[in-house]
Amino acid sequence: MRKIYLLFILSFTPFFCLTQPYKTTYKQLKEFEGLYEYINNTTLKIAASPRDTLLYAVINESKYRLTPYSRDLFVNMSNEKVQFFRNTNNTIAGYIAGKDSFKLLSKDVFFPEMSWYPRLPTAKNAVYKYEEPKAYKDGLETGHIRQSGLDTALLSEMMRKIIDGTYPNVHSVLIIKDGRLVFEEYFYEYNKDSLHELRSASKSFVSALTGIAIAKGVIKSKHEKVLSYFPEYNIANNTDTKKRITIENLLTNQSGLDCDVSNPASEGNETTMNNSDDWIKFTLDLPMVDTPGGKGMYCSGNPVTLGRIIEKSTNMLLPDFAKNNLFAPLNITNFKWNFKPDKSSAETFCQLYLRPRDMAKFGLLYLDSGNWKGKQVIPADWVYQSLEKQSVVQGVHYGYLWWIKYLDADGVRYWGKAAQRNGGQKIYIWEAQHMVTVITGGNYNAQSPGDELIKQYILPAFNRK
């Protein structure tokens, strides 16, 4: 949901330029591997990659590149220093980032070879060959790509470029066309059963649960005032304007609170929120910089607050409400969602983890107006409102915690509705093509190739139709 705090976004670390790469070997990098201390009494792993001869910090399965600058000095993806230090035996004992130092806890770590390669370099993987997705008893119907209208030559080229590393850190690509899963590929250590973090794509699930809660009558309407749900708080910076914030304002990121990820001076800084004791109070205490319903500002505190409103209204934990009312109807049985909006979630962001096949089901549910195999799981009018322009956030049309954006493919413009964010997690709905595309990835705090894959290898198949 946000950028990683310490090794990767260090506001207090001097910025400097990496003018020339420092030459090192994979064997030399191996001495840095291990389990280390990290912030909030957590840990991280340091790993050496045999594929690109770089070091990576691994936090909750997410990898962040560290480029060698000198013998024990590395720079992170924001060009900031990470300095390792040694003990009297001249072996690595820890690292320094900014003003903090962290000890090496153990050298006993293991990183499988397949975690570094899209596909292991074997004869079997030398030439890509399409295989129809297998049918499992998970509620997804499958079909062959020949009946989909997709361009098999383009998809084969896409696969070659993912496998050869042209498009790095793509973990999965799935395509549903006309209600059937016709394309399903996984890379690195991921497979059909792997739970993948959704990052801020989780927000669209909160939107769905809000619509369900309103339909059930446990939330009266989207016009309910937000502060009315939190009488236990003594709200700071409280004004009549703040009292007008509604549930709908949270859904459209138009709360008016001083919380904008694109503004470094915003008091609602995500790093500060994530390391606070109570994310809800942190958000509601922020000063107002606009009127509710005014400027769209991307703020993770808005959907997190909405999640707590759902919990208060239903007397259920958010994951339990999701399990009973959204996941069960879609036959989603394997998921992880630790919704605890406090500092214990500083590095996991209260995010949802799902299998890509189940992410695809969620997209198909919205494509079919909230109906799943004859059962109306989400009200159709809520789906319609969610996928219509309600505000503009970061220059992009925005619905109810859904992005409304276009991709241009060979001069043809295609409009899609997306649940997406950091790392390359994307659930796209293409209504005109009756198609859902799902991409997961690990390009954290870096440009994801996901949109490029869609506009270069998937959408062009429809240009001539």
CATH topology classification for 26-111: Lipocalin (2.40.128)
| Three-state secondary-structure class, residue 174 | strand
- Position of tokens 């590149």? 65
The residue type found at 65 is R
For 339, residues 6+ apart whose C-beta sits below 8 A from its C-beta are 307, 311, 317, 318, 319, 350
CATH topology classification for 123-194+363-462: Beta-lactamase (3.40.710)
pLDDT for res 17: 53
H or E element that contains 408? strand 403-409
Question: How far is residue 6's CA from residue 100's CA, in Å, rounded to a whole number?
Answer: 9
pLDDT for res 247: 98
pLDDT for res 445: 83
Question: How far is residue 152's CA from residue 246's CA, in Å, rounded to a whole number?
Answer: 47
User: Please, where in the chain does CATH 3.40.710.10 lie?
Assistant: 123-194+363-462, 199-354
Beta bridge partners of 396: 393
Q: DSSP states of 182-208 as a string? A: EEEEE-TT--TT--EE-GGGHHHHHHH
pLDDT for res 122: 76
Q: Kindly report the number of other CB atoms within 10 A of residue 335's CB atom.
A: 17
User: Please, where in the chain does CATH 2.40.128 lie?
Assistant: 26-111
pLDDT for res 40: 84
pLDDT for res 11: 30
Sheet of 170-177: strand order equals 180-186, 170-177, 435-441, 425-430, 412-421, 403-409, 396-398, 391-393
Q: Kindly report the number of other CB atoms within 10 A of residue 157's CB atom.
A: 14
Could you tell me if 81 and 73 are in contact, meaning their C-beta atoms sit under 8 angstroms apart?
yes
Q: What are phi and psi of 406, to 5 degrees?
A: -120, 155
Cβ burial 131-150 (10 Å sphere, 16+ → b, else e) = eebeeeebbbeebebeebeb
pLDDT tens figures, 391-413:
999 999 999 999 999 999 999 99
Q: Which two tokens stand for residue 205?
A: 């699930």
Instruction: Give 324's DSSP letter.
Output: I
Q: Consecutive 10-residue runs of the chain (465 residues): their mean pLDDT?
A: 37 43 91 95 95 94 92 90 97 95 97 93 77 96 96 97 96 98 97 97 98 98 98 98 98 98 94 95 98 98 98 98 98 98 93 98 98 98 98 98 97 97 95 98 91 98 82
Question: How far is residue 400's CA from residue 382's CA, in Å, rounded to a whole number?
Answer: 9
Question: Is the alpha carbon torsion for 15, 21, 25, 28 positive or negative?
Answer: negative
pLDDT for res 126: 66
Question: Is the alpha carbon torsion for 283, 213, 402, 248 positive or negative?
Answer: negative
Could you tell me if 284 and 249 are in contact, meaning their C-beta atoms sit under 8 angstroms apart?
no
Question: Is the alpha carbon torsion for 67, 73, 79, 81 positive or negative?
Answer: positive
The residue type found at 294 is G
3-state helix, strand, coil in the chain (%, to 5): 30, 25, 45
pLDDT for res 455: 97
pLDDT for res 14: 40
Instruction: Give 21's DSSP letter.
Output: P
pLDDT for res 158: 98
- Position of tokens 């198909």? 364
Span 199-354 CATH architecture: 3-Layer(aba) Sandwich (3.40)
- Position of tokens 């107002």? 288
Could you tell me if 353 and 336 are in contact, meaning their C-beta atoms sit under 8 angstroms apart?
yes
- Phi-psi bin for 240: left (phi > 0), alpha (psi -120 to 50), beta? alpha
Question: How far is residue 14's CA from residue 171's CA, in Å, rounded to a whole number?
Answer: 33
pLDDT tens figures, 260-272:
999 999 999 999 9
Question: How far is residue 169's CA from residue 377's CA, in Å, rounded to a whole number?
Answer: 34
Beta bridge partners of 192: none
pTM: 0.94
